[in-house]
Homo-oligomer: A and B are copies of this chain.
Amino acid sequence: MSNWILTLSCTNRPGIVAAVTGRLAEAGGNITEAAQFDDPVTGSFFMRVAFALDGDIAVFRSAFEGLADEFGFEWTLNDAAQKRKVLLLVSKFDHCLGDLLYRMRLGELNMECVGVVSNHPSDVLNLTLHEGLPYYHFPITKDTKAQQEAQIKNVIEETGAELVVLARYMQILSDDFSAYLSGRCINIHHSFLPGFKGAKPYHQAFERGVKMIGATSHYVTGDLDEGPIIYQDVEQVSHADTPDDLVRKGRDIERRVLARAVRWHLEDRVLLNGSKTVVFSK
C-alpha cells in the first residue's frame, strides 16, 4: 500500500470531481483526504486528493494523464512518503533556521535539508543543529550580488533542491533570481503585510504605535513583499514594548508562521491562484 497526493487546477466546469474520483476508484485508490475550491471570481477550480493505493501508480497516472489533457489540468502527483529536498538560506538571525531543523529532526516536516546557505560564516549562529549539514558561506557585496546568486543557483541545481526557504535571509534578491525561484521559494516577512513593507518593520510598528505585530510567509516573486501570502499570524503588543521587545515577540511569530507554511508546502497543500494562494490546510 502506498500513499499519494494529487493536486490539480483548471477552468471550472461540471463533472471534474466525478471524473477524477471515478478514475481513482477504477485504479483501486481509496481517498483519505480531499478538498476543493471553486473560485467564483476567476472561474478556476482547485483540488487536492490524498489517497492510498494498493497497486501500481503507473496505472492511475496513465489514466489520469488522459483526463488532464481533456480538462486542461495543471497538476502534480507526489509520493507522500518521499522526503522533499530543501535548501535553507539564512543570515545572522537563526531562530527560523533552528526551528525548521528541529522540526525536521522530529519528523514534523517531510523534508531533507540538502544544505544551508548564508552570507555569513557559520560561527555567527546560535544554534548547533546545522552541524553535519553542508554549509555554504557565500559572502555578498553590492558588486558581487550577481556572482553570489549564481553560486546559490549552482547549489540548488547540484543538490536538486525542490524548495528554497528564506529563513530570515536578509538580502534582497535580484529580479532575475526571484523569477528563477518563483513558486518554489518561501520567504518569511517580519510584518503583518501589507503593513510595514520594507526595512525594519518592527521599528516602523513601534513608531506607528500599533497594538499588534505579525509575520507573513509568502512565495517569492519578482515583486518584493507582494508575493502570494501563505499564512499570517499576530500577537498583542503594548505601549510598554520597546523595539527590542517587538523583535523578541516577533521571533516567536516568525518561526511558527514560517514552519506552518513550509509544512503545508511540503504536503502539497498550497496551490497558486494568480497573486493569491489556495491553502487546503488540515
Contact = CB atoms under 8 A, between A and B. Distances in A.
A271 to B, nearest CB: 9
B228 A212 contact: no
A275 B15 CA distance: 35
A36 B38 contact: no
Interface in A93-146: 95, 98, 102, 105-106, 108, 126-129, 131
How many of these chains are in the complex?
Answer: 4
Contact of A14 (B30, B102, B192, B273): B30
A105 B129 contact: no
A282 B245 contact: yes
Interface in A218-262: 228-234, 238-242, 245, 248, 251-252, 256
A252 B242 contact: no
Most chain-B Cβ atoms within 10 A of its Cβ — which of A33, A196, A252? A252
Interface stretch (A21-29, A69-77, A80-88): A21-29
A179 interface: no
B38 A209 contact: no
Which secondary structure dominates where chain A touches chain B?
mixed
A66 interface: no
A18 interface: yes
A51 to B, nearest CB: 9
Contact of A17 (B28, B34, B208, B233): B34
Given A129-B128, A239-B277, A209 B229 contact: yes
A205 to B, nearest CB: 9
Contact of A106 (B32, B105, B126, B242): B126
B282 A241 contact: yes
B126 A127 contact: no
A6 interface: no
Nearest to A93: B106
Contact of A276 (B17, B29, B209, B231): B209
A180 interface: no
A279 interface: yes
A242 B282 CA distance: 11
Interface string A191-231: 01111100000000000111110100000000000001111
